[in-house]
Every structure is written in C-alpha cells, then in structure tokens.
Structure 1
C-alpha cells in the first residue's frame, strides 16, 4: 500500500507487435517493392531500332522512284587517242638512239688524236684489259677486284703524245647493258676522293653537258732529278659508260685544254 500523498505510477500499456498492427497503415519506404528496370529498357531499344529500319526502307523507296540527277560537265579537256590504236611508235633514228651507239664498237666513240700527234708505240686507240686500267690507280689489286665484281662489260682507250712531254689518255669504262647503276657507283667512288687527291683541295669545275661531271687541275709535283709534272683529269658518267680523261705535262695545263677534251668526248657518247 502506497504511503499517503504519493502519486501512483502510470499504468503499463504493452505495444502490439508488427504483425498485430493495422494492415491499412502505410508501410515504411524501404518496404515498397520496385519494378524491374530491364524489361522497359529493352522495349524502348527495340522500338528505336524498328523505327530506324522502317525510316530507311521508306527513304530508299522514295529515292528509287526519283529520276537520277545528271553529273556536271568535266572541267578538263577530253583525252586524245590515236586515230589507229595499236600502231607502234616509229623507232628513233640512229643519230638519236644512244643505246645503238654505245652497243656498237666502243672504240669508234673515242676522240681521234690531233694532227701531228704521236700515236706510235705505246699509244693509239683500242681495247683495254681490266688489269691495264686498274694499273692507273695506287692500289691496282683493290681496284681490279672492285671493278670485277661491279659488272664491268668492256673498256676502250685512246692515247697520244704531243710536243716534248705532254701525254693524253682517254678511258671509256662500260658496264653491262642497261646497268647504269654500276657506272654511277664507279663515278661516285672516284668523286669521293678526287677533290682531295694530291693536294688538289678543290671541288673541280663542271663539265658542260654533264649532270655531275667535273674536271680538275692539280698542283705541280716536283722531285729532285726529275722534270716537274702537271696533271689534269676529267670524269663524267653517261648512261652505262664512265668517261675518264688524263693529261700529263711538264708545263702547266690550262683549264681550256682539259675542258675542251671532256666536252667533245661527252658529245660523242
């Protein structure tokens, strides 16, 4: 029994469990069921694809029913055709066909010796062996092997003497028919050292009528007990032939001398 004046405690009212609550009450947000998304997306995508296909088919049908649009006029002139197709071009005359010249007797393309020149023993015009040509170089063995493996076809030479001590020598080195690369390589190899040979220290002067041909005037060489030696050289390539010209003298050699020889020999090729 509670003492007098005390406030009685509030009666305990039990809370009913969730299963006993009013079923009409609104459920919690997390308890709401959501519709699956996959099915709606597939329906939208199928409708888009079907719309594109139907639109393309309709557009193709409309375009097919239209008349073709004519093309504009060409801006350039019409191509010209020969009156009689299949007719071959006339061959070049011998004077203009360089291959006919160089496939013949190569010695006939060499310059002739000047009047009153000495073409006696040790001089003249004719064929040249590979070893004879290689002997003109400081290392004949190396030059011989190099030329032998590079496709040399034949060599021709013309030489003569003038005055007391002047000698002129012209060499034509021809490579296999149509093999202009061998001639170009030979020329390039010579040009790699010619400007610096025997102290020349010069790029040389161009030969008229040649793309890269050059002629050189070398400084005098003196040795006790011997006459001074002057030297000039010209080298150029024309097709499958390398032209190589040497002039030696105990007197100075003018540029006009070697230049004239080189230009006239080049014309004959």
Structure 2
C-alpha cells in the first residue's frame, strides 16, 4: 500500500491588528506663572523709599544694592555728586560655625561673634589714615580722649569696672580737612552695652559726655531721619550748633546688641562739617553692625 504524501498545511495569514483610534488633540500648554518677587525685594523697595529723604533720588541699581543685602555685601554709596564719600564695596565677615548673628532667635544676648575689627567701616578713597587708629585694638584711655578732660576719668572707670571686652577703632582725614573717627566698644551682652549708654547719659536729646574741641554742648541733629538703619539697632545723632570754635563737631552713637559705636566728624573752617558724608558714614557703620 503506497504512502500518501500529506499536503502541506496551508498557513493562515496573521490576524491584522485592529486599527488604532486617532489620538485626541493635545490640550493647550498652560501659561507659566511669573514668580512673585521675594519678600526681601519688597522690603528693599520700602526701605529705599525712606532712604531717598536723606540722600535724594539716585540710580535704582544703587538703591537695590544698598537695601537688599542679606549679610553679604554692603555697597559703598560711591556717588560723589551730592558730597558722599567713595567707600569701597564692603563685605561682611563670615561668622564662626553655628554662631548666629545678633538679633536672631538663637542669639538672645545679641553677641557679635565676628571679629570686631572686621566690622569697622574702612576709609574711603582719598583718605589719609590716622596712624593711631588703623583698625586695631585701642585702650579705654584712647576712647576717653575723644571727650573733655573732666569726663575722661569717669569714662575709663566705667569701662574698666564693666564688662568691656574690646575697643576697635579707625580714623582718617579727607582732602577737604574733614576728620573722622569710629570706635566700636564690645561688652559682655546687649544689656551691658545699654547699661554703659545709660550710665553716660546718652539719649535721644543729649549725647551725654561732651566731645573734645567743643563748648560742651551738642544738640539733636534734626536733619537725621534714621534712614538706612537696621531694625535691631538704635542711633543717636548730634551736631554742634553755632557758634562753634574752629571746627564743628558731629557725633553719633549706634547701639547694636553687645556693641556700641561712636562716630565723630569735624572739619576746620567756618563752613562747618558737611552733613551728607557724616550721615552716610553713620548709615554704613550701622548696617555693618546690624
């Protein structure tokens, strides 16, 4: 019986995939919202609006640089058209690890942990630096020399018997003859700095101890508006009224936590001591300490 050859199986064609429905149209791309300016910028605008009262309107770029800082850079207000001095760009010193700045929640005693000498305002362009006040430490006696002789013993005694830690100082003279000295006195706490201020009768209406080279009387500087100051500091600004001797004296105290700053300016001649660079200096020293 002969073998029959089996017919090859017929391959069934592959089943066709069902047709895909058309893709629905893509939804329109939503507009990307414009981010709101950070709060610090808003605060900066408000603070600059106030600062215009003292220095007048200047470029918006300078205004932002002055008021929007966050413990990084403090610009030098280098515009000279209205009499301001050409300060260099100022950099705040780095704090030691885990040390908060004054006024923060973790620093109830309001201690400045940065090197006090690095918080001194540097001399502006064109200044001749005082050889005795080059930015280092000075004695209570040197600080007391800024006041009339009858006041000096009491000042030194108060400092020696209190919790004074350091005094740093820098001075210079400008080409127009204006002399500037800055002293930073650091105490054991903000309470101790306030105690020294109160003991020397420094207040809103009186500078307390009479500065040297004056008739012993300074009045409140009514042109000072408090612009540019830091919220955690307090400023007391005074000026020697007419008639003054050969040099008019301007003086300011800034109380910033554990540190008290004294800024003194004077200039020989009948024209008096310019107001604008004095206020500029007080503002910048204030911002360095705040």
TM over 0.5: yes
* TM-score of the aligned structures, taking structure 2 as reference length: 0.52
Give the distance between the partners of 1:186 and 1:219, measured in 2 at CA. 26
Q: Does the 8 Å CA contact 1:169/1:246 hold for their aligned counterparts?
A: yes
**Number of equivalent positions:** 171
Deviations 1:81-121 (A, max 9, x none): xxxxxxxxxxxx95993159822321111111011110153
Relative contact order higher in (CA < 8 Å, ≥ 6 apart): 2
Q: Does 1:256 align with 2:280?
A: no
What does residue 133 of structure 1 align with? Answer: 143
Q: Structure 1 residues 263, 118: closer, same or farther in 2, change over 3 A? A: same
Shift of 1:267: 0.9
Shift of 1:164: 4.5
Find the residue that maps to 1:119 and give its secondary structure: strand
Match for residue 285 of structure 2 among 258, 262, 265: 265
Task: Tell which structure's C-alpha radius of gyration is larger.
Answer: 1
Distance in structure 2 (CA, Å) of the matches to 1:149 and 1:180: 16
Q: Which residue, out of 75, 96, 101, partners 1:98?
A: 101
Structure 2's unaligned 5+ residue stretches are 1-93, 211-215
Residues 1:171 and 1:221: Cα distance change in structure 2 (over 3 Å): farther
Contact in 1 for aligned 2:219/2:241 (Cα 8 Å) = no
- The separation in 2 between residues aligned to 1:98 and 1:206, in whole angstroms, is 26
Greater helix proportion: 1
| Runs of 5+ consecutive residues of structure 1 not aligned to the other structure | 1-92
Q: Is the 8 A contact 2:206 2:219 kept in 1?
A: no
Q: Distance in 2 between matches of 1:149 and 1:246?
A: 25
Contact 2:202/2:208 (<8 A) preserved: no
Across the aligned residues of Structure 1 and Structure 2, the Cα RMSD in angstroms comes to 2.8
Which of these residues, 239, 244, 263, is aligned with residue 245 of structure 1?
263
1:181 aligns with 2:191: yes
- Alpha-carbon distance in 1 for matches of 2:280, 2:146: 22
Residue in structure 2 matching 1:215, options 237, 244, 247:
237
Deviates more, 1:234-243 or 1:254-263: 254-263
- Alignment partner for residue 124 of structure 1, among 131, 134, 139? 134
Q: Is the 8 A contact 1:119 1:160 kept in 2?
A: yes
